[in-house]
Amino acid sequence: MRNPRVNHKIRSNEVQLITHEGENIGIVPIGEAINRAQEVGLDLIEIAPNVKPPVCKIIDYGKYKYELQKKASNAKKKQKVINLKEIKLRPNTDKHDYNFKIKAADKFLVKGDKVKFTIRFKGREMEYMEAANNLTKRIIEDTKKVGKVEQPSKLEGRQMTLIIQPI
């Protein structure tokens, strides 16, 4: 966000003035608004520059910037970052390896991350699509408790992808 215009940097000839106590004075010339701000030892800050006439408030500029920074910091704290974790499999992955990878996927989903399952095909494995389709159905069934399908399985070249998101 760009910094608001302050005092003599305000370009308009007239402004809608709000005092430091929150009282709406109305439309006044810019010179009078700046004089009123200087009388109380504060700054005239353009709060809403896109309206006619612009809305200006008499407040301490340093305090105003601090409040904006604090609001931005709180908004950043509250946002949740979702990562995409990838788990790679083959169409003929062994049962133990499969179970190990499903446990890892469950941990990721419980933590709030999305999981992308990639099934890679090598050589003649492309001929055995039924095994890959069964594997994706099994993955969906085994992660049903903690996740749901965001993007169903699709074939891209020599790999099939499936994305599961947390519930």
Region of 68 please: left (phi>0), alpha (psi -120 to 50) or beta. Answer: alpha
The pTM (predicted TM-score) of the whole model is 0.56
Q: In what order do the strands lie in the sheet with 114-120?
A: 84-89, 114-120, 159-166, 147-156
Q: In what order do the strands lie in the sheet with 43-48?
A: 24-29, 14-18, 55-59, 43-48
pLDDT at 13 over 90: no
Q: What is the pLDDT of residue 48?
A: 85
- The whole-angstrom separation of Cα 30 and Cα 13 is 5
Total count of domains within the chain: 2
Whether 54 and 127 map to the same domain: the answer is: no
Quote the domain boundaries for residue 29.
7-77
In a domain, 34, yes or no: yes
Whether 58 and 128 map to the same domain: the answer is: no
Whether 12 and 55 map to the same domain: the answer is: yes
**Residue 46: strand pairing partners:** 56
User: Where a domain ends, among 45, 62, 77?
Assistant: 77
- The whole-angstrom separation of Cα 96 and Cα 100 is 6
Q: Which residue has the higher pLDDT, 104 or 4?
A: 104
In a domain, 1, yes or no: no
Average pLDDT over residues 27-48: 88
pLDDT at 38 over 70: yes
Dump pLDDT digits (tens) for 94-130: 999 999 999 999 999 999 899 999 999 998 888 888 8
Residue with token string 């003035």: 17
How do strand 114-120 and strand 159-166 relate by DSSP bridges? antiparallel
pLDDT at 1 over 60: no
Whether 98 and 47 map to the same domain: the answer is: no
Q: What is the pLDDT of residue 82?
A: 80
pLDDT at 163 over 90: yes
Q: What is the pLDDT of residue 23?
A: 83
Dump pLDDT digits (tens) for 64-78: 889 889 998 988 888
pLDDT at 9 over 90: no
Average pLDDT over the chain, rounded to whole?
A: 89
